[in-house]
């Protein structure tokens, strides 16, 4: 009975996924057969999609580079360092932050964070302008891809912190005690018996965070003053796929609509590839995972 | 090196609950001491206070003194981490690190504190410790394989190898055979007999034949009832405890007429 229901649910998920993929492919097809000159930008689909794919990846990478170490550190602090009462409060706050709608983060980024970052950006441009990533002139509004990345980081950080905390709490006491009994300090114990155990879980948590960062529309749309692809993170410019779709879809018709759906298909594929890579990393060490 | 442990007036609490009351006992160097008694009488609790492992449990605390060759483990400024590197522990369920190879498991304690160790010294230590745990011949061809792939008895001997690799003074064992089959149990008992040439061994067991087989001295713990603290009832040569105990409750327990 239960196994039947589980099988049904599993089949339903696969069917829905397949239906979505099919819809995307069918609706995207006209883009690929269209005259390249009719595509936005006038030089075919690849030239159109490439900059926003890169923009998407830049924003997501910035988000994860910031959110992963902080999220894991917050999780470890709550699970293994904080006194119990503080840990409970902190856990509650983190879970709450994870539930805040992205538009709120976007509004905060656009109305507060961006203007706060104007001065640091100008400083970066002045002192590190020789690095292409920080080439000036810095944006006058602070609405740059770096700001978008930071807002995304703030958004995904509670997700990563909350999920990894649960993993850390599940690390077997058995092995933690083994480490301590050998004369490990708390940090050594964490490195021996908690982090290796949590490795797969951390990667999964980061992937979920990445999924949210890749697909985020509102926060990016509000925070980024978009433009063509540029290397500098502190000038206005760049765009992400999700924000592009969200901003343009309401007015799109005909070929433009197919084009945006094709962009959605590309985003779908990026997510798929990223998840496959994560699976592969998790499985690579299966023999040593303790599952046997 | 092997060291003596002197315990005086030791009380152990979990929060407000006193789990062990007023234990006074001396555990001789180079000998095996067995702790026996009904479950819940505080054997594990007491054992863990001998290397301060009870401090891992929130709310657990100790009053009294534990001297390792005269040095108080609970003295001011004594780091529990140091205590545990001198007094090793083997647990009820074998717990090799599942993410490490057999070799890395043996070296786990030695590599702590970023101590550097040359490849050849490490090889020597791995072989010596695994031989010391009577495991070398069974695993020498698969040192890079995960420790979790071994049988339960082999895993437990791997844990013993890991404990002796850091050359402790004392090895504490909390029912090390209770999760093992009879053959593996015999292998561990043989090993315990060899370990006492170099270490002070303390073993908790609920198996009285095992206590009789492996130990030089035996301590019998008991509780008056649930919610009451455990007490050390009688401590003597193992032969005395089993053949000619002083206390009536000891005799009832070892003859199986308990409860
Ligand atoms: N982590 C703990 N927290 C609170 N009480 C505990 C804990 N561990 C053990 N106790 C209590 O301490 C007493 C002694 O337990 P234990 O040392 O495990 O006995 P034994 O090893 O002799 O079976 C029991 O009453 C048990 O319920
Ligand atoms: Mg016990």
- Can you list the domains of chain A with their CATH numbers? 21-33+42-288 (1.10.3720.10)
How many angstroms does the Cα of residue B11 sit away from the middle of ligand 1?
A: 13
pLDDT digits (tens, 9 = 90+) for B177-208: 998 889 889 999 999 999 999 999 999 998 89
Q: CB within 8 A of A36, min separation 6: which ones?
A: A42, A43, A44, A45
pLDDT digits (tens, 9 = 90+) for B29-83: 999 999 999 999 999 999 999 999 999 998 999 999 999 999 999 999 999 999 9
Q: What are phi and psi of B98, to 5 degrees?
A: -70, -20
Pocket test for ligand 1, best of B11, B14, B36, B204 (most atoms within 8 A of CB): B14
- Chain centroid offset of residue B119 CA: 30
- pLDDT for position A283: 81
Ligand 1 binding pocket includes B57 (Cβ within 6 Å): yes
DSSP string across B39-50:
TTSSHHHHHHHT
CA distance A197 to A171: 6
Looking at residue B62, the DSSP 8-state letter turns out to be E
Other beta carbons within 10 Å of B208: 17
CA dist A272 → A211, B130, B176 (Å): 10, 46, 47
Give the pLDDT confidence of B85-141 residue by residue, as tens digits: 999 999 999 999 998 999 999 999 998 865 788 999 999 999 999 999 999 999 999
CA of B49 to the centre of ligand 2 (A): 13
Residues A224-277 have pLDDT tens digits of: 988 889 999 999 889 999 999 998 888 888 899 999 999 999 999 999 898 888
Compute the nearest-CA separation of A179 from chain B (Å): 8
CB atoms within 10 A of CB B258: 12
Question: What ranges make up the beta strands (E) of B71-187?
Answer: 71-72, 87-90, 170-174
What pLDDT, on the 0 to 100 scale, is given for residue B258? 61
Burial class (CB in 10 A: 0-12, 13-18, 19+), A112: exposed
For residue B48, give both structure tokens.
Answer: 């863990």
Residues 6+ apart with CB under 8 A from A94: A74, A78, A158, A161, A162, A165
Span A138-166, pLDDT tens digits:
888 999 999 999 999 999 999 999 999 99
Q: Which CATH class is domain B5-254?
A: alpha beta
Contact B98 A289 (CB under 8 A): yes
The pLDDT value given to residue A292 = 42
Among the bound ligands, name the one nearest to the CA of residue B227.
Answer: 1
Burial (CB count within 10 angstroms: exposed 0-12, middle 13-18, buried 19+), residue A274: middle
Pocket flag, ligand 1, residue B39 (CB < 6 Å): yes
Q: How far is the CA of A187 from the centre of ligand 2 (A)?
A: 27
Tell me: pLDDT of B257 over 80.
no
Helix (H, G, I), strand (E, B) or coil at A76: helix
Q: What is the DSSP letter of B178?
A: T
- The best mutation among B18, B35, B42, B53 to test binding of ligand 1, ranked by most ligand atoms within 8 Å of the C-beta, falls on B42
Interface size A-B, in CB pairs within 8 Å, comes to 82
Cβ of B38 below 6 Å from ligand 1: no
Nearest CA owner, ligand 1 atom 7: B14
Residue A240 · residue A140 · CB < 8 Å: no
Q: Which residues pair with B232 in a beta bridge?
A: B221
**B144 in the Ramachandran plot: left (φ > 0), alpha (ψ -120 to 50) or beta?**
alpha
Comparing alpha-carbon positions, the chain A residue that sits nearest to B173 is A181
Q: How far apart are CA A288 and CA A282, in angstroms?
A: 11
Proportion of chain B above pLDDT 70, given as a percent: 98
C-beta atoms of B101 and A288 within 8 A:
yes
The confidence score (pLDDT) of residue B114 equals 59
| B202 burial via Cβ count (<10 Å: 0-12, 13-18, 19+) | buried
How would residue B259 be classed by pLDDT, with cut points 50, 70 and 90?
very low
* Chain A residue nearest residue B80, CA to CA: A183
Which residues 147-206 of chain B have a CB within 8 Å of chain A?
148-149, 159, 162-163, 166
Q: Which residues of B touch A180 (CB under 8 A)?
A: 53, 56, 84
CA quadruple A179, A183, A185, A191: dihedral, nearest 10: -30
Contact B99, A290 (CB under 8 A): yes
State whether B85 and A177 contact (CB < 8 Å): no
Give residue limits of the domains in chain B: 5-254
Instruction: Give the distance (Å) from ligand 2 centre to CA of residue B142.
Output: 33
From chain A, the residues in CB contact with B169 under 8 A are: none
Q: Within chain B, how many helices (H) and strands (E) appear?
A: 10, 10
Cα distance between residue B70 and residue B49, in whole Å: 16
Residue ranges of E strands in chain B: 5-14, 17-27, 32-36, 60-68, 71-72, 87-90, 170-174, 200-204, 217-223, 230-237
Spatial neighbors of A117 by CB under 8 A, at least 6 apart, are: A142, A144, A146, A147, A150
The verdict on the CB of residue B229 being under 6 Å from ligand 1 is no
A61 by Cβ neighbours in 10 Å (0-12 / 13-18 / 19+) ranks as: middle
Distance of residue B213 Cα from the nearest chain A Cα, in angstroms: 26
How far is residue A280 CA from its own chain's centroid? 19
């Amino acid at each position: 009975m239960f196994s039947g229901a589980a099988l049904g649910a599993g089949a339903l998920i696969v069917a829905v996924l397949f239906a979505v993929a099919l819809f995307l492919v069918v609706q995207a097809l006209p883009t690929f057969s269209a005259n390249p000159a009719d595509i936005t930008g006038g030089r075919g689909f690849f030239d159109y999609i490439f900059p926003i794919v890169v923009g998407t990846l830049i924003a997501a990478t910035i988000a994860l580079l910031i959110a992963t170490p902080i999220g894991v550190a917050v999780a470890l602090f709550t699970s293994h360092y904080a006194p119990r009462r503080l840990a409970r409060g902190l856990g509650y706050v983190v879970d709450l932050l994870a539930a805040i709608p992205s538009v709120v983060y976007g509004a905060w980024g656009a109305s507060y964070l961006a203007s706060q970052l104007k001065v640091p950006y100008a400083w970066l441009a002045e002192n590190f302008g020789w690095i292409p990533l920080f080439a000036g002139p810095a944006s006058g509004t602070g609405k740059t891809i770096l700001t978008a990345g930071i807002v995304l980081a703030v958004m995904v950080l509670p997700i990563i912190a909350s999920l990894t905390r649960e993993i850390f709490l599940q690390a077997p006491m058995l092995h933690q005690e083994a480490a301590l009994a050998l004369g490990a300090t708390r940090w050594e114990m964490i490195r021996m018996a908690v982090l290796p155990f949590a490795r797969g879980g951390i990667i999964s948590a980061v992937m979920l965070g990445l999924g949210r960062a890749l697909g985020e529309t509102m926060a990016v749309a509000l925070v980024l003053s978009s433009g063509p692809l540029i290397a500098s993170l502190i000038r206005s410019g760049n765009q992400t796929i999700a924000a592009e779709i969200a901003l343009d879809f309401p007015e799109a018709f005909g070929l433009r609509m197919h084009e945006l759906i094709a962009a959605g298909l590309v985003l779908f594929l990026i997510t798929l590839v990223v998840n496959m890579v994560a699976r592969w990393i998790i499985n690579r060490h299966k023999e040593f995972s303790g599952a046997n | 090196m092997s060291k003596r442990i002197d315990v005086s007036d030791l009380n152990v609490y979990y929060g407000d609950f006193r789990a062990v009351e007023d234990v006074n006992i001396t555990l001789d160097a180079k000998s095996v001491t067995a702790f026996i008694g009904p479950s819940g009488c505080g054997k594990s609790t007491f054992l863990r206070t001998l290397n301060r492992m009870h401090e891992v449990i929130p709310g657990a605390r100790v009053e009294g003194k534990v001297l390792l060759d005269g040095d108080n483990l609970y003295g001011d400024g004594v780091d529990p981490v140091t205590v545990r590197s001198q007094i090793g522990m083997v647990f009820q369920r074998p717990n090799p690190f599942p993410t490490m190879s057999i070799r890395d498991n043996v070296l786990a304690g030695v590599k702590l504190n970023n101590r550097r160790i040359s490849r050849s010294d490490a090889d020597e230590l791995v072989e010596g410790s695994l031989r010391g745990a009577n495991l070398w011949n069974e695993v020498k061809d698969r040192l890079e394989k995960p420790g979790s792939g071994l049988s339960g008895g082999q895993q437990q001997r791997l844990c013993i190898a890991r404990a002796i690799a850091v050359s402790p003074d004392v090895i504490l064992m909390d029912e090390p055979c209770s999760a093992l089959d009879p053959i593996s149990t015999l292998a561990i008992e043989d090993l315990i007999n060899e370990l006492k040439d170099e270490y002070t061994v303390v073993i908790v067991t609920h198996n009285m034949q095992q206590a009789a087989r492996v130990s030089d001295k035996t301590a019998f713990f008991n509780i008056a009832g649930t919610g009451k603290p455990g007490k050390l009832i009688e401590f003597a040569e193992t032969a005395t405890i089993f053949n000619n105990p002083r206390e009536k409750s000891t005799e009832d327990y070892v003859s199986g007429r308990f409860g």
